[in-house]
């Protein structure tokens, strides 16, 4: 029986609204912003701090500074101060994702969930994408300027690819991880129906 759906996505593909609608029609819990909120609660920090760092690797200068700071504690009886960085967010995200999966009946958006849950037989993993111009068109319709939309599409997907490569040692997207990959250009409802159909068919098999 399928109890969990993960949705990984290209930026601007409309995955958030699609995931929201899929969870609503199934009557399942949506873990998107809620996941970020739970990670921020566990990290004892503001949600905005997690949002600024999740699904992207730390910059090289930050990693070098962290290594230097940790090295300065060698030979000291003091423990280094816990920092909120990409690595700690990945650890906390895994904790939250596994907890959500244990409860079941949920749709989880990104945050490496497709890799954390790749061996669970009760999980279906989807990847949503769209042509670049379609993603830009969607973002502009949501209020972004043309130039901002173009920059965000390229930058965000590049950061997600680097994030997956660094922390999961996989390409992005790794086609073997997903049960299905859908182009969202035909429209949200087409994709929603396709996802629900796969869930139904696999669940009844």
Q: Where are the domains of the chain?
A: 4-204
Architecture of the domain spanning 4-204: 3-Layer(aba) Sandwich (3.40)
Could you say which DSSP state residue 13 is in? S
Q: Closest by alpha carbon to 169, among 97, 112, 96, 123? A: 112
**Which ranges in the chain belong to alpha helices (H)?**
15-26, 33-43, 47-51, 60-71, 86-103, 113-116, 132-141, 146-168, 188-204
Q: Mind listing the pLDDT tens digit of every residue in the chain (205 residues)?
A: 999 999 999 999 999 999 999 999 999 999 999 999 999 999 999 999 999 889 998 764 344 444 444 444 444 443 333 468 889 999 999 999 999 999 999 999 999 999 999 999 999 999 999 999 999 999 999 999 999 999 999 999 999 999 999 999 999 999 999 999 999 999 999 999 999 999 999 987 6
pTM, two decimals, is 0.88
């Amino acid at each position: 029986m399928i109890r969990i759906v993960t949705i990984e996505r290209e930026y601007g593909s409309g995955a958030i609204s699609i995931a929201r609608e899929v969870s609503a029609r199934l009557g399942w819990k949506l873990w998107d912003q809620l996941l970020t909120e739970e990670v921020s609660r566990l990290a004892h920090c503001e949600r905005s701090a997690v949002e600024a760092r999740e699904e992207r690797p730390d910059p090289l200068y930050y990693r070098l500074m962290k290594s230097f700071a940790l090295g300065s504690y060698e030979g000291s009886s003091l423990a280094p101060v816990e920092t909120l960085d990409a690595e700690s967010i990945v650890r906390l995200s895994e904790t939250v994702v596994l907890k959500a999966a244990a409860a079941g009946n949920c749709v989880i958006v990104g945050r490496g969930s497709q890799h954390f849950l790749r061996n669970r037989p009760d999980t279906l993993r989807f990847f949503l994408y769209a042509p670049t111009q379609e993603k830009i068109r969607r973002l502009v319709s949501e209020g972004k300027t043309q130039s901002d939309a173009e920059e965000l599409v390229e930058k965000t997907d590049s950061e997600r690819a680097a994030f997956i490569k660094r922390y999961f040692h996989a390409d992005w997207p790794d086609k073997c991880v997903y049960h299905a990959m859908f182009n969202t250009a035909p429209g949200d409802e087409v994709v929603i129906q396709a996802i629900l159909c796969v869930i139904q068919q696999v669940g009844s098999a």
